[in-house]
Structure 1
Amino acid sequence: MTMDSEDILTIAADWLAAGEAVAVATVTSTWGSSPRRAGSRMAVTQSGRIAGSVSGGCIEGAVAEAAQRSIETGTPQVLDFGVTDERAWEVGLACGGKVSVFVEKLA
């Protein structure tokens, strides 16, 4: 069962209120075969806690790493994964689709 985006934001807000540094990743667009639709979210803490999903597993590791960088730098990022990316095969996006993910630190 996948949590909806509001649940993820509630969890992220709770983590933030508890003193955790948190970033949220949001799927902004998809094309072709993609396990999650636009609007899907994943929250990541600096200590490594994760809630939600942006891909059903195939790019979560790369997105979590980017979330850690955004937490450290405060700089938002747009990540693009697709079948034409060399990185797509590295992170396991062999489904033939494309996905864009926006990552930002919560304040």
Structure 2
Amino acid sequence: MLARDEDILKAAEDWRAQGKGVALATVVETWGSAPRPVGSNLVIDDTGSFLGSVSGGCVEGAVVSEALDVIETGQAKMLEFGVADEAAWKVGLSCGGTIRVFVEKVE
């Protein structure tokens, strides 16, 4: 079962209260057959722990890696994964769709 939005936001709040760096990844756009709908979230802390899903598991590793950079630099990123993108095949997004994920630091 996927985490509920409330659980994801509570984890972000708890991790920040513990002094951890935190990033929030949100699916902002999809095309074709996408594994998760717009609005799906993944919260990541500065140790790489995460909760939620932006892709049903197929690109989470790449999003977590980018989120660690966002936490460190404070610079938000827009990520795109799609079937025509070589990186998408590498990370497993072979469902025929494309997703755009916005990753931002939680302050």
| TM-score, scaled to structure 1 | 0.96
**Shift in Å, 1:84:** 1.1
User: How far apart in 2 are the matches of 1:77 and 1:5?
Assistant: 21
Contact 1:5 1:39 in 2 (8 A): no
**RMSD of equivalent CA atoms:** 0.8
Aligned to 2:73: 73
Alignment of 1:1-107 (within 5 A): 1-107=1-107
Aligned-partner SS, 1:43: strand
Query: Which stretches in structure 2 are left out of the alignment for 5+ residues?
Result: none
* Number of equivalences: 107
Aligned-partner SS, 1:55: coil
Query: Which stretches in structure 1 are left out of the alignment for 5+ residues?
Result: none
User: How far apart in 2 are the matches of 1:16 and 1:52?
Assistant: 17
- Aligned-residue sequence identity (percent) comes to 55
